[in-house]
């Protein structure tokens, strides 16, 4: 028993010694904190009563989970940054992050508790980085963890909004923060509230089928006209981008081959058709809209140049007729049912019309094809007559956008990457849309409801003519998008018949004859309807499409195949089907990563501009998407913000005394 008593006494003595040592260690921590806070609390003499540490965690010496600080009435507790300095001092002395849970300025008392979310190693690393980027007053206030256990959102306070006022400086902070932390981050800046929210940037999906709309197809088009909004894509936050024809009557779509422009047009067509509007299509390539010839509410798809000219003239006549009705006092504009006119590949259409017009021009006709002015008139005046226009072309050349033509398209979408000159034409800014990743078909730039340029991923709609056999998914998508019924009957433009004079010579058909061609209902003339044409067998189709057949050198095979609905076969082959226009599974058309750029040169990194290509030094060519500026860490280095062809981005820091390998975009006179 005596031995047990001696052992117990020894243990008890050791415990008292340990407890005494722990208390002394914690008092030492408090005293150092009191001394560190003296300048902040405004106390002239060190007073241990100004700081109370409690609720210590286990361990040696542990960490106080609660801190109460009393300060002198003369302390600058109302000044900007006072609280940040207080929190920073606690973090430095106690090696933990704290948050203010109560602040009574009347009693000069602050209560703080440990912020477990921001006390992790990851949060500490982020806070250190932010102090380097923004300044010593930067502190993490909130730290949100995602399901994966990684940070997804942090809120930062500071008192240097004046320093962050320059947009270029904010861009560098955002890009640098993203470059040194996992994931792609973006920042939302509240300069008035001295607060920044950093959050993981959402990832764009590679492909999005157009979701079935909730349009009430039982509504009359006049009743729903002003509420119609046609969805065409989403931004990175998932916000749906829409076109509202009643507000912005015409839509301009620009994009080169392979970017997904035609697929976006199909998306708009499907949305308009579900609203019950009649649709007239001028198919500039002659093959991109053939799959929609039997789509409900698509009344006519003009594939030949003669029919395309007739469609535009007829749409203009509808508009003029409605203006005359209003002028007569018989009607008001509110009774006009909307008419949707698609003009696809305007550059190709204009070139074909220009080549064709001399062959049908007669004495007294204008020197230029009148259809071009008719189209410009629709762009200017179509809103009142409710003749709406979707205008698509490969690039916004000044040659095609003379006068006020472009200004009548307030709603615009550029699909794919623009050149600086094209961006200036399209957006009045040579940088907007110039860094869109080229290996992401369907990626586009538009203006959102806040009048701010945003990057979007456009929706997709399958081309009914090109759905692979057995592809149930695409068939289901089409079935869900197809209008329940056709409100408007399909129309055909009758081909001009061959006529002969008394001497059996063919009668010449002039431009006005084609414009005045008769329109009929497709149901009344099945013999003219191309939808009723039975496709040839694969062997026969292959045979007649060979160049030898066209040259009449293939054992007498006919070079002209009679096709209902076409007034004549074209004199030149039609453009090839564009299989790479954003379709799922389509191979990216390798046009060369340097197409549209000048030869590589060595240049001063500070002379780079947004839209240039630059070699990162390892053979990777990326696009400059942020004006180069001195590096935040070393002014003798230049920070270059870049983005690659799949959408990844980063900061490349190079000495300002070294040259970099770069390529400028080829300057093309696009109306700048």
CATH code of residue 627: 2.30.30
190 plus 279 within the same structural domain: no
Q: pLDDT for 579-603, tens place per residue?
A: 334 443 333 334 467 888 899 999 9
Does 154 map to a domain?
yes
40 plus 158 within the same structural domain: yes
240 plus 276 within the same structural domain: yes
37 plus 163 within the same structural domain: yes
289 plus 424 within the same structural domain: yes
Pairing mode, if any, of strands 250-254 and 411-415?
Answer: parallel
CB 56 within 8 A of CB 25: no
pLDDT band at 577 (very low <50, low <70, confident <90, very high): very low
Residue 160: is its pLDDT beyond 50? yes
- The mean predicted confidence, pLDDT, of the chain is 85
Domain coverage including residue 319: 228-469
C-alpha triplet 409, 301, 376: angle, nearest 5°: 30
Residue 186: is its pLDDT beyond 90? no
Residue 426: is its pLDDT beyond 80? yes
Number of compact structural domains in the chain: 3
pLDDT at position 85 is 83
CATH code of residue 445: 3.40.50.300
pLDDT at position 652 is 87
Residues 280, 39: Cα–Cα separation, whole Å: 77
Residue 10, both tokens: 């020894």
Q: Which of 255-269, 354-368, 440-454, 526-540 has the lowest mean pLDDT?
A: 526-540
Q: What is the per-residue burial (b if ≥16 Cβ within 10 Å, else e) of 642-656?
A: bbbbebebbbbbbee
Does 429 map to a domain?
yes
177 plus 292 within the same structural domain: no
Q: pLDDT for 488-503, tens place per residue?
A: 999 999 999 887 777 7
pLDDT at position 640 is 87
Q: pLDDT for 332-385, tens place per residue?
A: 999 999 999 999 999 999 999 999 999 999 998 999 999 999 999 999 999 999
Average pLDDT over residues 68-83: 85
Average pLDDT over residues 508-523: 94
pLDDT at position 46 is 75
Within 10 Å of residue 357's Cβ, how many Cβ atoms?
A: 20
Does 631 map to a domain?
yes
Last residue of a domain, one of 469, 503, 527: 469
Residues 659, 654: Cα–Cα separation, whole Å: 9
pLDDT at position 492 is 96
Pairing mode, if any, of strands 601-603 and 660-663?
Answer: antiparallel
Three-class secondary structure of residue 553 per DSSP: coil
pLDDT at position 428 is 85
Does 55 map to a domain?
yes
CB 655 within 8 A of CB 640: no
169 plus 317 within the same structural domain: no
234 plus 192 within the same structural domain: no
Q: Which of 398-407, 536-545, 649-658 has the lowest mean pLDDT?
A: 398-407
Does 445 map to a domain?
yes
pLDDT at position 401 is 60
pLDDT at position 514 is 95
Whole-model pTM: value is: 0.75
Does 442 map to a domain?
yes
282 plus 394 within the same structural domain: yes
pLDDT at position 499 is 79
| DSSP 8-state code for residue 400 | T
Residues 546, 557: Cα–Cα separation, whole Å: 10
The three state secondary structure string of 545-571 is CCHHHHCCCCCCCCCCCCCCCCCCCCC
> Which of 45-49, 391-395, 500-504 is most confident?
391-395
Q: pLDDT for 616-648, tens place per residue?
A: 988 889 999 888 888 766 788 888 888 888 888
235 plus 196 within the same structural domain: no
CB 596 within 8 A of CB 584: no
236 plus 128 within the same structural domain: no
Compute the CA torsion angle 88, 92, 96, 99 (nearest 10 deg).
-20
């Amino acid at each position: 028993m005596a031995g047990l008593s001696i052992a117990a006494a020894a243990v008890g003595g050791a415990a008292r010694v340990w407890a005494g040592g722990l208390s002394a260690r914690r008092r030492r921590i408090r005293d150092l904190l009191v001394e560190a806070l003296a300048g902040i609390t405004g106390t002239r003499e060190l007073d241990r009563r100004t700081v109370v540490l409690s609720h210590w965690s286990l361990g040696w010496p542990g960490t106080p989970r609660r801190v109460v600080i009393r300060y002198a009435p003369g302390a600058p507790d109302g000044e900007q940054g006072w609280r940040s300095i207080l929190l920073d001092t606690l973090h430095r002395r106690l090696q933990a992050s704290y948050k203010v849970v109560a602040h009574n300025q009347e009693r000069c008392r602050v209560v703080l508790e440990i912020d477990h979310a921001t006390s992790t190693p990851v949060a500490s690393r982020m806070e250190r980085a932010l102090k380097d980027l923004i300044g010593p007053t930067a502190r993490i206030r909130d730290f949100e963890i995602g399901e994966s256990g990684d940070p997804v959102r942090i809120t930062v306070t500071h008192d240097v909004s004046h320093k962050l006022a320059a947009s270029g400086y904010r861009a560098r902070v955002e890009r640098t923060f993203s470059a040194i932390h996992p994931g792609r981050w973006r920042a939302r800046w509240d300069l008035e509230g001295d607060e920044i929210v950093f959050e993981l940037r959402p990832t764009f999906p590679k492909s999005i089928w157009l979701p079935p709309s909730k349009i009430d197809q039982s509504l009359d088009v006049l009743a729903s006209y002003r509420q119609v909004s046609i969805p065409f894509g989403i931004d990175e936050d998932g916000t749906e981008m829409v076109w509202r024809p009643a507000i912005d009557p015409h839509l301009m779509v620009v994009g080169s081959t392979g970017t997904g422009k035609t697929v976006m047009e199909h998306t708009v067509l499907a949305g308009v058709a579900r609203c019950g509007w009649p649709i007239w299509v001028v198919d500039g390539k002659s093959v991109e809209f053939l799959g929609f010839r039997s789509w409900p509410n698509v009344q006519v798809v003009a594939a030949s140049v003669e029919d395309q000219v007739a469609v535009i003239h007829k749409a203009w006549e509808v508009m003029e007729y409605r203006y005359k009705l209003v002028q007569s006092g018989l009607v008001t504009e509110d009774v006009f049912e909307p008419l949707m006119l698609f003009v696809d590949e305007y550059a190709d259409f204009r070139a074909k019309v220009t080549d064709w017009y001399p062959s049908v021009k007669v004495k007294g006709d204008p020197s230029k094809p009148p259809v071009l002015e008719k189209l410009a008139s629709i762009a200017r005046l179509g809103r009142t007559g409710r003749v709406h226009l979707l205008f698509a072309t490969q690039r916004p050349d000044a040659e095609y956008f003379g006068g006020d033509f472009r200004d009548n398209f307030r709603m615009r979408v550029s699909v794919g990457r623009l050149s600086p000159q094209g961006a200036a034409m399209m957006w009045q800014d040579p940088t907007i849309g110039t860094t869109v990743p080229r290996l992401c078909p369907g990626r586009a730039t538009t203006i959102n409801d806040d009048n701010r340029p945003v990057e979007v991923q456009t929706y997709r709609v399958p081309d009914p003519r090109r759905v692979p056999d057995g592809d149930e998914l695409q068939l289901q998508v089409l079935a869900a998008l197809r209008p329940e019924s056709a409100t408007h009957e399909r129309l055909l433009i009758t081909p001009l018949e061959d006529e002969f004079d008394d001497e059996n010579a063919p009668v010449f058909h002039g431009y006005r004859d084609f414009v005045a061609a008769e329109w009929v209902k497709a149901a009344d003339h099945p013999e003219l309807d191309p939808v009723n044409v039975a496709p040839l067998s694969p062997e026969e189709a292959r045979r007649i499409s060979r160049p030898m057949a066209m040259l009449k050198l293939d054992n007498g095979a006919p070079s002209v195949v009679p096709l209902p609905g076409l007034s004549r076969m074209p004199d030149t082959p039609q453009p090839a089907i564009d299989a790479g226009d954003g379709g799922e599974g389509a191979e990216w058309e390798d046009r060369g990563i340097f197409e549209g750029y000048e030869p590589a040169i060595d240049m001063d990194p500070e002379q780079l501009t947004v839209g240039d290509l630059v070699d990162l030094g390892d053979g990777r060519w990326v696009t400059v998407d942020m004006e180069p500026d001195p590096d935040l860490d070393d002014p003798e280095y230049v920070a270059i913000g870049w983005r690659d062809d799949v959408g990844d981005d980063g900061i490349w820091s190079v000495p300002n005394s070294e040259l970099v390998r770069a390529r400028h975009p080829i300057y093309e006179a696009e109306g700048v």
